[in-house]
């Protein structure tokens, strides 16, 4: 029973549609926060990255777990690349935060 629950949870968090929704959120929400406050933008970018990294790891693990089925492998590869794009985009946000002069 525990193995089945773990499998369902793993399938949920490595689903490509979830990663597409997460990518859209990562591309829009930090910029909306930047319109409100730069510190809020930095906080939201960092928080999104902390969520994006485990999603990337789970999608990558799923990619290696489904080596036997080409259809599942293609689906997992798409989820992995989408999660990777979201993580890299947020990492670029954070690199910009590091080099920005925050004295106003």
**Domain-located, residue 27:** no
Query: Is the per-residue pLDDT at 1 higher than 70?
Result: no
**What share of residues in the chain are helix, strand, coil (percent, to 5)?**
90, 0, 10
Binning pLDDT at 50, 70 and 90, where does residue 62 land? confident
> What is the model's pLDDT at position 71?
84
**Domain-located, residue 89:** yes
Mean pLDDT, rounded, for 68-92 = 82
- Can you tell me which residue has the tokens 């690349």? 81
The answer to whether 25 touches 52, Cβ cutoff 8 Å, is: no
- Residue 86: which domain range? 37-104
**Domain-located, residue 60:** yes
> What is the model's pLDDT at position 103?
67
Phi/psi at 68 (nearest 5 deg)?
-80, -25
**Domain-located, residue 83:** yes
Enter the pTM of the model. 0.67
Domain count, the chain: 1
């Amino acid at each position: 029973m525990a193995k089945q629950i773990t499998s369902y949870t793993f399938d949920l968090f490595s689903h490509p549609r979830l990663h597409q929704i997460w990518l859209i959120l990562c591309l829009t929400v930090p910029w909306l926060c930047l319109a409100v406050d730069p510190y809020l933008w930095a906080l939201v970018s960092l928080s999104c990255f902390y969520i994006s990294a485990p999603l990337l790891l789970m999608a990558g693990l799923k990619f290696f777990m489904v080596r036997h089925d080409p259809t599942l492998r293609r689906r997992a590869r798409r989820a992995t690349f989408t999660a990777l794009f979201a993580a890299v985009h947020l990492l670029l946000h954070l690199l910009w935060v590091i080099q920005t002069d925050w004295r106003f």
